[in-house]
Amino acid sequence: MTRRVVVYVDGFNLYYGLRSKGWRRYYWLDVRRLAENLLWPDQRLAAVRYFTARALAEPDDPGKPDRQNVYLEALATRPDFHIHYGYFLLKGRRCQQCGATWQTYEEKMTDVNISVELLGDAQDDAFDTAILISADSDLSGPVYAVQRRYPEKRVVVAFPPDRASKHLREASSSSFTIGREAFRDSLLPERVAGADGYLLTRPASWA
CA-wise closest residue to 137 among 99, 87, 175: 175
Please list, in sequence order, all residues whose beta carbon lies within 8 angstroms of the beta carbon of residue 200, skipping any fewer than 6 positions away. 70, 73, 74, 191, 192, 193, 194
CATH 3.40.50.1010 fits 3-91+100-206, yes or no: yes
How far the first Cα of the chain sits from its last, in Å, is: 41
DSSP 47: E
pLDDT tens-digit map of 7-34: 999 999 999 999 999 999 999 999 999 9
Q: Report helix, strand or coil for 7.
A: strand
Whole-number Å distance between alpha carbons of 207 and 122: 38
Q: Tell me the chain's radius of gyration from C-alpha atoms.
A: 18
What is the model's pLDDT at position 96?
72
Mean per-residue pLDDT of the chain = 93
Strand-pairing partners, residue 51, are: 10, 84
Whole-number Å distance between alpha carbons of 151 and 1: 18
pLDDT tens-digit map of 109-159: 899 999 999 999 999 999 999 999 999 999 999 999 999 999 999 999 999
Strand-pairing partners, residue 88, are: 107
**Computed from CA positions of residues 193, 18, 186, 165, in that sequence, does the dihedral angle turn out positive or negative?**
negative
pLDDT tens-digit map of 45-65: 999 999 999 988 888 889 999
Whole-number Å distance between alpha carbons of 187 and 200: 14
Give kind and range of the element (H or E) at residue 82: strand 81-85
Q: Where are the domains positioned within the chain? A: 3-91+100-206
What is the model's pLDDT at position 91?
62
Whole-number Å distance between alpha carbons of 97 and 184: 43
CB atoms within 10 A of CB 12: 19
pLDDT tens-digit map of 96-120: 777 676 556 678 889 999 999 999 9
Q: Is pLDDT above 80 for 94?
A: no
153, 129 contact by CB (below 8 A)? yes
pLDDT tens-digit map of 36-48: 999 999 999 999 9
Whole-number Å distance between alpha carbons of 76 and 13: 19
pLDDT tens-digit map of 174-199: 999 999 999 999 999 999 999 899 99
